[in-house]
Amino acid sequence: MTGITLTTKKNLLLFAGRAHPELAAEIAGCLGIEPTPTKLSDFANGEIYVRFLESVRGCDAFVLQSHTAPINHWIMEQLIMVDALKRASAKRITVVTPFFGYARQDKKNRGREPISARLMADLFATAGADRLMAVDLHTAQIQGFFDGPVDHLFALPILAGYLETKLNVRNVTVVAPDAGRVRVCERWTDRLGTPLAIIHKRRDPDVANQVKVFEVVGHVKGRTCILVDDMIDTGGTIVKAADALFEQGAERVIAAATHGVLSGSAVDTLKNSRISEVVITDTLPIAQEKRFDKLTVLPIAPLLARAINEVFNDGSVTSLFDGQS
């Protein structure tokens, strides 16, 4: 009787949804692989069909999808991809969401509201995900919503590294646009060696995306201010924050954010503002018609590829941010 030789060779496979094919190609290029061939299509009624065109049994699967508009469609596609992998006997499934949808709904501010970020984590777990990977979650507490490992990546080294090459940091003040961003901005000040200012804002509870009052706490007069946020959606809040800084004597304002959602009239709002530069990453696709002279888009693919490689090789994702505590 011929003996059987057992092999335990690990197999990394990258699966890409249709939301951001350019990012998938860049990550695959960094890893030296190709995205796994996958058939993705929509039925006439909008339902999504998924089928992988090669065996995934025993693989270490990374399922990439950027939650861009139409956001619910792409989230559903990623969930179905995870379900298909689970049923096809993938060994481990890591959901890679450069921008984690519904992250702003991470708590109940008023009665009868959902905690949609928790629901998102539950949906991925139910579909069969073993691990989540995301860049700059809206709040760190979202990591606790998923009952398994969560790799929370930071775009700070990319954004701050770019601005360090352009600015005289001795004349820079990092500005938190609200109290929730203070901890993130402290990491910026630790890296740049700059002071911190905070904008206290009060939202209109009856109108979404509207802020009523801004108050600046900190020294900004005559200085270059870097407004740091996790995302720019309509652009209205960050432009009003910039106006508040100019009213307090700021010489120049730069906006830096990880995620360029850029909904509605955001492009016109930002173009016509006094903000001198808007710096984002490409966690979300930025269509050509949404690009403008003030906008700088930095690549996120190298960071995601390094994190995927560390997870695959059972290394340390935290090591990617040593010195950025």
Active site residues: 201
Cα 287 to Cα 34: distance, rounded to the nearest angstrom: 24
Structure tokens at 216: 């600046």
**b vs e for 41-54, b when ≥16 Cβ sit within 10 Å of the residue's Cβ?**
eeeeeeebebebee
Q: 68 by DSSP, 3-state: which?
A: coil
Preceding peptide of 149 cis, ω within 30° = no
Cα 322 to Cα 237: distance, rounded to the nearest angstrom: 32
Cα radius of gyration (the chain): 21
Structure tokens at 292: 């403008």
Distances (CA, A) of 306 to 80, 205, 300: 26, 41, 10
Element (H, E) at 240: helix 236-247
**DSSP string across 186-232:** HHHHHHHT--EEEEEEEE-TTSTT-EEEEEEES--TTSEEEEEEEEE
**DSSP string across 76-91:** HHHHHHHHHHHHTT-S
Cα 318 to Cα 155: distance, rounded to the nearest angstrom: 13
Taking alpha carbons only, the member of 222, 227, 284, 237 closest to residue 257 is: 227
